[in-house]
Amino acid sequence: MNRPGNRRLRALIVDDEELARRLVREFLAPHEDIEIVGECENGLDAVKQIGELAPDLVFLDIQMPRLTGLEVLELTGRRSGVIFTTAYDEHAIKAFELHAVDYLLKPFSRARFDDALARARTLHVPVAPGVEALVARRGEPIERILIRDREQVHVIAVETVECIEAQGDYLAVLADGRTYLKPQRISEMEEQLDPKSFLRVHRSFIINLAFLQGIDRQGTERHFARLRSGKRVPISRSGYDRLRKMV
Amino acid sequence: MHPLLADVRKLTWYVLAWMLVAAGIAGLLRLAGDAGWAGALAFAMPICLVYAFVVLSSYYICRSLPVAQRRWTKVAAVFGGASLLSALGWLGLGTAWNALGRLGPRAAPLVDMTPAGWILFFSAGFVLYMLALLAHDVLVAFESMQVAVRREAESRVLAREAELQMLRTQINPHFLFNSLNSISALTSFDAGAAREMTVDLAQFFRRTLALADRERVTLEEETELCRHFLAIEQRRFGAKLRAELRIAPEAAACLLPPMTLQPLLENAIKHGIRGLDDGGTIAVDAAARDGWLRVAVVNPVAGEPVPARERGVGLANIRERLAALYGKRARIEWRRTATQFEIEITLPAEKESAP
């Protein structure tokens, strides 16, 4: 049965409602080439299982507790073989349409389900490039930063973030007296944060203006931002100009 | 600006009408033998032309006296006084213009007016201004009536929109479509449950529609609606969702705005129960004591921060509605600890007056 090119597709069902998962199971039953390898009832579990099981197909609900479907993709880096399901989410639907990503609107018919499945199968790797743009969610500032730390996922509210420092390929996010490492470029993070509260003061630093206590001067040219925790962050010349404009 | 001045066609007709008046005055002067046609017309035409515009000022006088809050004595005094002043101006203008005739080719006044003639002339000015005032008064009253009618229609539309808005936010489409999806799933393996859920959903919407256009409902009616809501949600979330409703009998009869408790339960599920692996219990306590109705909802929450955008909308909505109905006498307070969310609404305990 396990002939190359004709092996069974392994599917993961992610939805926090038991009945919704059951419906997907029922609709999958006649498709003998698909094997259900797992079910998750929240986003955290999905992150874990996607990592462990590496399924070919993921049925992913958007509105879930803990982590939304899009946040699951962000954390896992998963881009292909995803079939989104949602009951109603104006934001998500607008994004799907914008990036030409296929999705199932609950409640859906068997015909519609088969249709989406067929498309996901043929597109295989990689699926619509739209998914990448969908996950990056440019435009709207993010409200929480997600950090994956081996088995654990940290969800950090942006208002608790004091500053962010670029360290090689990683960002060090300082929040609530702890430092979290996240693999991301600082320019990308800068784009995602609300420019009214966060400011790039240096090539390697973004600070939260709510935590800014004062600006120290050293010599004639150099400036440092003093933050609430006592941390001092260097300010570049252009960063200083931007900061002066903001405060 | 006066409506006539904004409309060239109407203004032309208006000026022509005044020219007729001028011709009439000239004719009278001619008949009285005070002047020849040329003199009479040269006298009457310019004066009438000026007065035509003076008279338009009556529009502003009428507008300054709102129809709704008038006393006849005041109106009579203002109208009389204004007419008198204008007539005096008209008389002054008449005598001055007439006297200017001496500078003309005939080196004599345009008309030979007798004192009685001047008195008649003055009276004509008075009457013309008074007529203008009365005509304008009718116009202004008509205008304000139209405005009132339009405003009432607008406010009715606004009220209706507010009601629809409330329905739209309360009848959460996410809830509706997810419920339909659950029914769709149930049909193939538990038709009975699918039917029950359909009935609960229908009951919930029927009650929502029935309650939404009433200003206030009893807590008992609101609770009944919530029971259908919870029945639906318990099918969706299974054993994860548990609820304890403790409504004291004396509280059940108290009045509150419709859809006050239901959104609190919806929030408790959305931001609390759904995020917990093992679910939890929503506790609702309602009591009436010392003239106040207290409704408290407590639910467990998970540790993750909730995006601010989602949190506030429902609560702000309830707070606004309570403020509109009760002013400072209503209070809504909430508190989030590490493990639970508590919200409490306090209202004056009012009951439906016995019929």
pLDDT tens by residue, A125-175 = 455 567 777 776 656 788 889 898 877 888 898 999 999 999 999 999 999
Structure confidence at residue A2 (pLDDT):
41
Q: Does A88 contact B180 at a Cβ distance shorter than 8 Å?
A: no
Interchain CB contact of B275 with A (< 8 Å): yes
Cβ-nearest to A143 among B180, B277, B307: B307
Phi-psi region of B279 (alpha: psi -120 to 50; beta: other; left: phi over 0): left
Tokens 């005032």 map to which residue?
A: B133
Distance CA B84, CA B75 (A): 14
Distance set, CA B214 to CA A206, B211, B219, B276 (Å): 52, 5, 13, 36
Structure confidence at residue A98 (pLDDT):
73
Question: SS3 for A141?
Answer: coil
Residue B312 C-alpha, separation from nearest chain A C-alpha, in angstroms: 14
Residue A181 C-alpha, separation from nearest chain B C-alpha, in angstroms: 18
Give residues 122 to 151 of B whose Cβ lies within 8 Å of A: none
Least trusted range by pLDDT, from A11-20, A74-83, A115-124, B250-259? A115-124
pLDDT tens readout for residues B324-348: 788 888 999 988 888 899 999 999 9
Residue B303 C-alpha, separation from nearest chain A C-alpha, in angstroms: 9
8 Å CB contact between A197 and A184: no
Q: Does A20 contact B182 at a Cβ distance shorter than 8 Å?
A: yes
B141-180 burial: b if 16+ Cβ within 10 Å, else e = eeeeeeeeeeeeeeeeeeeeeeeeebeeebebebbbbbbb
- CA-closest candidate to residue B245, choices B231, B270, B227: B227
Strand partners, A103: A84
- CA-closest candidate to residue B288, choices B343, B250, B330, B329: B250
pLDDT tens readout for residues B274-322: 888 889 999 999 999 999 999 999 999 987 665 555 555 677 778 877 8
Structure confidence at residue A137 (pLDDT):
63
Tokens 């059940």 map to which residue?
A: B252
Q: State ipTM.
A: 0.79
**Contacts with B276 from chain A: Cβ below 8 Å:** 65
B338: Cα separation from own chain's centroid: 44
